[in-house]
Amino acid sequence: MGQSIVQLQNAFIFQNKECILKEVNIDVLPGEFVFLIGKTGTGKSSLIKTLYADLPLQEGAGSIADYDLSSIRQKDIPFLRRKLGVVFQDFKLLPDRSIFDNLQFVLKATGWKGKSEISTRVTEVLTEVGMNAIEHKYPFELSGGEQQRVAIARALLNTPQIIIADEPTGNLDPQTSLEIMEVFQKLHQQGMTVLMATHDYNMIVKFPGKILRCDEGTVYEVVQQKQA
């Protein structure tokens, strides 16, 4: 499907046999920063779950990171997810493991073997999000913003083609949200493709990008007015 990292063509998104979004057409090119906006319950999360193959694409065509979403086999889903970095609202860190062990767990699960390579990679991604020197701490010892930085570091471990973030600032106060958005912006400036679901309209004004809106059962692009 061409050079797009994400493409949906006339896609219908279902959750529990109910059609949530219909006739969805999306094109995300390498290096784009794309906001997915819309009120709670308009289908943002269902769309994102379809993109990382948590929900099957039952109707229409779709691809992400060179995988065909309409025909992907169960055994290929882990390989697809290695090409994606997914960041959630609630961090999803393992509470009984240190930050180092949280990240090491992901690397080992995705085929990394060498201790020194694992250790180096963990340090690299934590440094990238401004969280070096906390490897020995546990999630409960960190603030929400710090935990989200670790979650972003975890998403970067396998050098993904795209980061998909589902309401990554949803549990954070405004100042911390701004700092987390700056982390995403820095990654984007380094060439990372980012697709972010959010209902925080302040962020869309401060951090311009392409805007897709979920509304009334479909998705369409919003053209931003240039500020004077």
Rounded CA separation 90/212 (Å):
23
Instruction: Say if residue 11's pLDDT is above 80.
Output: yes
> Is 119 inside any structural domain?
yes
Confidence (pLDDT) at 225:
57
Confidence (pLDDT) at 199:
84
Taking only the tens place, the pLDDT of each residue in 95-113 is 999 999 999 999 999 889 9
Kind of pairing between the strands at 33-37 and 210-215: parallel
CATH of the domain at 157: 3.40.50.300
CB 13 within 8 A of CB 46: yes
Domain that holds residue 210: 30-55+72-222
CB 99 within 8 A of CB 126: yes
Instruction: Say if residue 228's pLDDT is above 70.
Output: no
Place of tokens 């699960």: 109
Q: What are phi and psi of 194, to 5 degrees?
A: -130, 130
> Is 8 inside any structural domain?
no
> Is 25 inside any structural domain?
no
> Is 66 inside any structural domain?
no
With b for 16 or more beta-carbon neighbours within 10 A and e for fewer, the 89-124 pattern comes to bebebeeeebbbebbbebbeeeeeeeeeebeebbbe
> Domains in the chain: how many in total?
1
> Is 201 inside any structural domain?
yes
Taking only the tens place, the pLDDT of each residue in 37-93 is 998 889 999 999 999 999 999 999 999 999 999 999 999 998 999 899 999 999 999
Which residues, listed in sequence order, are joined to residue 9 by a DSSP beta bridge? 61
Taking only the tens place, the pLDDT of each residue in 125-167 is 999 999 988 999 999 999 999 999 999 999 999 999 999 999 9
Confidence (pLDDT) at 17:
87
What is the value of pTM for the model shown? Answer: 0.92
Locate 219 and state its tokens.
Answer: 């998705």
> Is 7 inside any structural domain?
no
